[in-house]
């Protein structure tokens, strides 16, 4: 087969594909979005194994406050009426500035 005869035989197919280029583009975009959605759905549904959960839960530490800081806060609270009132107000509504 010659190069020119091959082009002549493929020309009707090329013309049809050129006329349908927008539809082909939209179908390709839909396919890409569908594939991405499928991958996201499969990634979301994966559950961690028990070893991973136990290792992650063992890493969480409780907050540590220095005992000297606690004693200093208690001294300030005992010595000052204004500070005591401030602490009482903060205990009643901790989210108010």
pLDDT tens-place string over residues 2-57: 788 888 888 988 899 999 999 999 999 999 999 999 999 998 887 878 888 777 77
pLDDT bin (cut points 50, 70, 90) of residue 97 is low
Question: Do residues 83 and 76 make contact, with C-beta atoms less than 8 angstroms apart?
Answer: yes
Report the SS3 class of residue 66: coil
The answer to whether residues 83 and 77 touch, using CB atoms and an 8 Å cutoff, is: yes
Residue range 57-77: mean pLDDT, rounded: 79
- Stated pTM of the model: 0.44
């Amino acid at each position: 087969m010659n190069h020119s005869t091959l082009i002549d035989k493929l020309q009707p197919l090329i013309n049809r594909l050129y006329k349908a280029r927008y539809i082909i583009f939209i179908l390709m975009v839909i396919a890409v979005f569908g594939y991405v959605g499928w991958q996201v759905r499969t990634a979301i549904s994966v559950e961690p194994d028990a070893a991973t959960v136990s290792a992650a839960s063992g890493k969480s530490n409780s907050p540590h406050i220095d005992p000297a800081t606690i004693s200093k806060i208690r001294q300030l609270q005992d010595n000052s009426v204004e500070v005591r009132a401030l602490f009482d107000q903060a205990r009643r509504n901790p989210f108010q500035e």
